Amino acid sequence: MMPATPFFRAMSAILWKDLATELRSRELLSGMLVFSLLVLLIFNFALELDAKARANVTAGVLWVTLSFAGTIGLNRSMAVEKDRGCLDGLLLAPVDRTAIYFGKTLANLVFMLIVAAIIIPIYSILYNQNLFIPGLLLVILLGSIGYVVVGTLLASMAVQARTRDILLPILLFPVIIPVVVAAVKASGGYLQSIPFDEISPWLNLLGVYDVIFTSVAFMVFEYIVEE
């Protein structure tokens, strides 16, 4: 039976559903944001930074913050589907499974980028460092894509386990390391104005990761939700 709803319409429908829900309740974003700010705060005390040391460490702090806030967002995003039975409802609809996945992934990406968009100015102010560099913003985009593509996939599994809250970070972090390494090095590169030649391998790695895992997710997601 052909899916009655074309792929992109289904995907957008899910994307808008998530965005609209979040617009009303704002619990996901507020959770991620408060958590990010707390992490930034803790780092301030954990790493006694003079101005010079700070430049080296900013990229790392940024990505640690995003990584941890990201798991909170992913967990909430998928848990909502499961707990309210939305996922079952979605699956009954004549919709290509993968459209559901891409819809969720895009929504998660939007949330992550919103959080990044808020903590960057805050970080800039708190640490007196300009983070509004176009290259840096590109890295955040590419890194977030990689994170969210794999994260949504794994979260849709983790949420069905008994140990759901602790399981997602455990599944995700080992597999996301290329993203974190490349993103931190590329971010640091842009912050320290290193020549583009030295940054480009990292950007390439991010791009390759994003493409490879989007393809993997495309092929594999239907096996996660078939019941």
Partner 1 sequence: MKTQPRLLLIIDFISVILLIIATILVFFVVPTEAVMGLVQKVFYFHVAAGWVGMMAFFTALVAGVAYLVTKQARWDRVGLAGIEIGIVYMLINIITGSIWARPIWNTWWTWDPRLTTAAIMELVYAAYLMLRSGIEDPERRARFSAVYAIVGFVSVPMTFLSIRIFRTIHPVVVGSGDPAATGAFDMTPAMSQTFFFSLITFTVIFVSLLWHRVRLADLSERVEQLKIRLSQ
The CB-of-206 to partner 1 minimum distance in angstroms stands at 10
The CB-of-63 to partner 1 minimum distance in angstroms stands at 13
Residue 18 DSSP SS3: helix
- Only one of the segments 3-11, 53-61, 100-108, 215-223 lies at the binding site for partner 1 (rule: CB under 8 A); that segment is 215-223
Rounded to whole angstroms, the Cα distance separating 161 from 223 reads 16
- Only one of the segments 8-16, 44-52, 95-103, 205-213 lies at the binding site for partner 1 (rule: CB under 8 A); that segment is 205-213
User: Judged by CB, which is closer to partner 1: 127, or 169?
Assistant: 169
Closest CA to 69 of 39, 41, 42: 39
Rounded to whole angstroms, the Cα distance separating 129 from 204 reads 26
Q: Which of 34, 175, 192, 196 binds partner 1 (CB under 8 A)?
A: 175
| Element counts in the chain: helices (H) and strands (E) | 9, 0
The CB-of-203 to partner 1 minimum distance in angstroms stands at 12
**Residues in 142-161 that interact with partner 1 by CB under 8 A:** 150, 153-154, 157-158, 160-161
Rounded to whole angstroms, the Cα distance separating 38 from 189 reads 26
The CB-of-44 to partner 1 minimum distance in angstroms stands at 26
Q: Which of 39, 182, 191, 199 binds partner 1 (CB under 8 A)?
A: 182
Rounded to whole angstroms, the Cα distance separating 50 from 96 reads 53
Report which DSSP code applies to 96: -
Token pair 């919103």: residue: 114
Rounded to whole angstroms, the Cα distance separating 220 from 197 reads 35
The answer to the question of residue 170 lying near partner 1 (CB under 8 A) is: yes
Angle among Cα 196, 198, 204 to the nearest 5 degrees reads 85
Amino acid in position 182: A
Can you read off the two tokens belonging to residue 150?
Answer: 């794999």
The answer to the question of residue 207 lying near partner 1 (CB under 8 A) is: no
The CB-of-149 to partner 1 minimum distance in angstroms stands at 10
- Only one of the segments 96-104, 132-140, 173-181, 187-195 lies at the binding site for partner 1 (rule: CB under 8 A); that segment is 173-181
The answer to the question of residue 162 lying near partner 1 (CB under 8 A) is: yes
The answer to the question of residue 23 lying near partner 1 (CB under 8 A) is: no
Amino acid in position 91: L
The site for partner 1 (CB under 8 A) is made up of 150, 153-154, 157-158, 160-164, 167, 170-171, 173-178, 181-182, 185, 201-202, 205, 208-209, 212-213, 216, 220, 223-224, 226-227
